[in-house]
């Protein structure tokens, strides 16, 4: 069969058509390839990035407080005042830890931490501008274990969706830094941070260490929190003469060199007054007697102008001690915010009244958190040029001849019990690792081991191992340690049998060797 001979014009036309078709096919092929690449990338992201229910407690896009900082003035001539709403809750002091939580034994201290957490959560939900900072995971864990699901969800949203509640410190308690051992510090931080991270993901890992009540501070603790990833450390107490010197030289904020090389530093801030309470005249807690802010002219006692002037004076006074234009006021104190409404109502009025005069005064006031304060400083100041600190902040003295050093050696028997308890806990963990007992229901369950871990972490509290709590409270600490020892000793007795492949009893029964036979009871000695 013969094909007709095509003219040059027709050949060119067919050639153009084929070229157009090839371009379309090429474009189609490239489109398919890009689509496949996009699908592959999406699949990898879906597999390896924690979305939705794949992350702790179903957390999706986290919006922590440090991602929700207030706006501050970038004018170096202005003063930005960060209000840090907080409460300091001792896990035992005048009352036992559980009495402080429930509010029992009110004649010794009429406070209850469960009510503080209840009212703070309620008040934060009323205004997205409000902020709060909380430190004691040991109390928070109790609250989380007994609250209804809707309350737990409210707290979760405040932490990871609205960015209003910030965890600081993050340990089970605020530990002493002189009498505690390195292992004990690591354990108590591990327990607290594990609880927070399991519940709140990245928002559960604080950026700021918060040691506002211990009686002096060690470089080794600063080194520890620095290695744990904390960006800053705040505390209240240092020797009164050093405080005076640092106020005069604008060095209350510093870079603390936490190792001998001087290469590992952590931004550290000490409070100007040596306290963690509100400025004089501005404590609006039920435990305080300061007048509220009255901003309605028709009411007797109208005092908003007087209050604002006093606050502005306090802000200017603190600004003189800074190398930047940010100041921090701790608005709270021991077991404050039992009635959070009183605090936030007055602070709302104060913020409104101060900011109405900002054009005149150059002072801006807002709710903030410690991490946002640090973020503001880093953005506007040359932090690397801040003065450096080497060594410890020991001994602590509040005034002439008022040294808090006796606790280094007092309650020696209790200190010994805490140290032996820590050693037993490390031994139990070693046996668990060797014998794989942590995953065997016949031996020690995680829940039972946590009894031991909680007791040991509690003993590091700055009123526990120091011996500065009431005698009945010290005895309660001891009782908790003995209960923890029972769990640990039984585990040690069972672990060798498990490791040798011998049968064990389901209820810790009849271990092949009982360490309790060599334990001495020091509880009757001080």
The alpha carbons of the chain give a radius of gyration, in whole angstroms, of 30
Q: Digits of tens for pLDDT over the chain (526 positions)? A: 554 555 555 555 656 666 666 666 566 666 665 665 555 555 443 333 333 333 333 344 689 999 999 999 999 999 999 999 999 999 999 999 999 999 999 999 999 999 999 999 999 999 999 999 999 999 999 999 999 999 999 999 999 999 999 999 999 999 999 999 999 999 999 999 999 999 999 999 999 999 999 999 999 999 999 999 999 999 999 999 999 999 999 999 999 997 777 778 999 999 999 999 999 999 999 999 999 999 999 999 999 999 999 999 999 999 999 999 999 999 999 999 999 999 999 999 999 999 999 999 999 999 999 999 999 999 988 888 899 999 999 999 999 999 999 999 999 999 999 999 999 999 988 887 776 644 444 445 667 789 999 999 999 999 999 999 999 999 999 999 999 998 888 887 766 655 555 555 544 444 443 444 434 444 444 4
pLDDT for position 437: 46
pLDDT for position 47: 37
CATH architecture of the domain formed by 409-518: Up-down Bundle (1.20)
pLDDT for position 38: 58
Indicate the fold that domain 75-403 takes in CATH: 7-stranded beta/alpha barrel (3.20.110)
Spell out the residues 6+ positions from residue 125 whose beta carbon is closer than 8 angstroms to its own: 154, 158
Q: Angle CA(63)–CA(65)–CA(70) in degrees, nearest 5?
A: 110
Determine phi and psi for 386, rounding to 5 degrees.
-65, 155
C-alpha separations of 191 from 138, 178, 245 in Å = 9, 20, 38
Element (DSSP H or E) covering residue 475? helix 471-499
pLDDT for position 157: 97
Domain ranges within the chain, ordered by starting residue: 75-403, 409-518
Exposed / middle / buried, residue 176 (Cβ in 10 Å: 0-12, 13-18, 19+) = buried
Are the C-beta atoms of 196 and 234 separated by less than 8 Å?
no
Which SS3 state, helix, strand or coil, does residue 254 take?
Answer: strand
pLDDT for position 514: 44
Q: In 66-136, which ranges are continuous DSSP H helix?
A: 97-102, 113-124
Element (DSSP H or E) covering residue 305? helix 304-319
Cα distance between residue 322 and residue 449, in whole Å? 47
pLDDT for position 518: 37
Spell out the residues 6+ positions from residue 41 whose beta carbon is closer than 8 angstroms to its own: none
Six-digit token string for 151? 């309350």
C-alpha separations of 496 from 431, 490, 512 in Å = 8, 11, 8
pLDDT for position 235: 99
C-alpha separations of 514 from 138, 491, 510 in Å = 31, 10, 8
Q: Chain-centre distance of CA 502, in angstroms?
A: 44
- Residues known to be catalytic: 213
Cα distance between residue 245 and residue 260, in whole Å? 24
Determine phi and psi for 334, rounding to 5 degrees.
-60, 120
DSSP 54: G
Evaluate whether 75-403 and 409-518 have a shared fold: no
């Amino acid at each position: 069969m013969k094909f007709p001979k095509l003219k040059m014009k027709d050949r060119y036309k067919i050639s153009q058509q084929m070229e157009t078709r090839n371009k379309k096919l090429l474009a189609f092929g490239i489109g398919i390839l890009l689509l496949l690449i996009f699908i592959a990338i999406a699949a990898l992201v879906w597999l390896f990035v924690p979305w939705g229910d794949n992350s702790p407690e179903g957390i999706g896009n986290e919006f922590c407080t440090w991602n929700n900082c207030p706006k501050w003035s970038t004018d170096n001539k202005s003063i930005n005042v960060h209000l840090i709403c907080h409460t300091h809750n001792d896990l035992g002091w005048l009352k036992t830890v559980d009495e402080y939580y429930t509010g029992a034994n009110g004649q010794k201290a009429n406070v209850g931490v469960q009510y503080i957490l209840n009212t703070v959560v309620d008040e934060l939900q009323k205004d997205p501008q409000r902020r709060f900072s909380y430190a004691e995971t040991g109390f928070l864990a109790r609250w989380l274990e007994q609250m209804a699901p809707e309350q737990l969800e409210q707290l979760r949203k405040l932490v990871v969706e609205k960015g209003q509640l910030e965890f600081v410190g993050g340990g089970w308690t605020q530990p002493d830094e002189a009498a505690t051992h390195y292992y004990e510090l690591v354990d108590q931080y591990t327990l607290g941070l594990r609880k927070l991270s399991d519940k709140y993901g990245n928002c559960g890992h604080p950026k700021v260490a918060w040691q506002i009540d211990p009686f002096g501070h060690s470089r080794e603790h600063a080194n520890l929190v620095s290695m744990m990833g904390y960006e800053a450390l705040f505390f209240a107490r240092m020797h009164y003469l050093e405080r005076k010197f640092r106020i005069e030289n604008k060095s209350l904020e510093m870079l603390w060199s936490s190792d001998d090389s001087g290469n590992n530093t952590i931004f550290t801030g000490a409070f100007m007054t040596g306290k963690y309470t509100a400025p004089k005249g501005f404590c609006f807690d039920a435990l305080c007697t300061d007048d509220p802010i009255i901003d309605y002219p028709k009411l007797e006692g109208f005092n908003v102008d007087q209050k604002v002037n006093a606050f502005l004076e306090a802000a200017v006074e603190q600004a003189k001690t800074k190398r930047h234009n940010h100041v921090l006021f701790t608005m709270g104190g021991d077991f404050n915010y039992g009635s959070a409404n009183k605090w936030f109502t007055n602070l709302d009025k104060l913020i409104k009244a101060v900011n109405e005069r900002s054009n005149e005064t150059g002072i801006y006031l807002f709710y903030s958190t410690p991490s946002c304060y640090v973020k503001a400083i880093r953005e506007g100041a040359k932090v690397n040029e801040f003065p450096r600190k080497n060594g410890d902040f020991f001994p602590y003295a509040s005034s002439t001849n008022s040294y808090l050093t006796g606790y280094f050696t007092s309650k020696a028997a209790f200190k010994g019990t805490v140290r032996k308890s820590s050693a037993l806990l490390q031994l139990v963990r070693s046996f668990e690792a060797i014998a794989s007992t942590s995953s065997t229901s016949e031996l020690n369950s995680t829940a039972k081991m946590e009894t031991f871990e909680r007791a040991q972490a509690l003993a590091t509290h700055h009123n526990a191992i120091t011996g500065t709590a009431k005698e009945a409270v010290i005895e309660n600490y001891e009782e908790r340690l003995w209960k923890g020892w029972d769990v640990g000793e039984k585990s040690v007795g069972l672990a060798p049998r498990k490791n040798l492949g011998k049968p064990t009893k389901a209820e810790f029964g009849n271990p092949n060797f009982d360490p309790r036979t060599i334990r001495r009871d020091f509880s009757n000695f001080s």
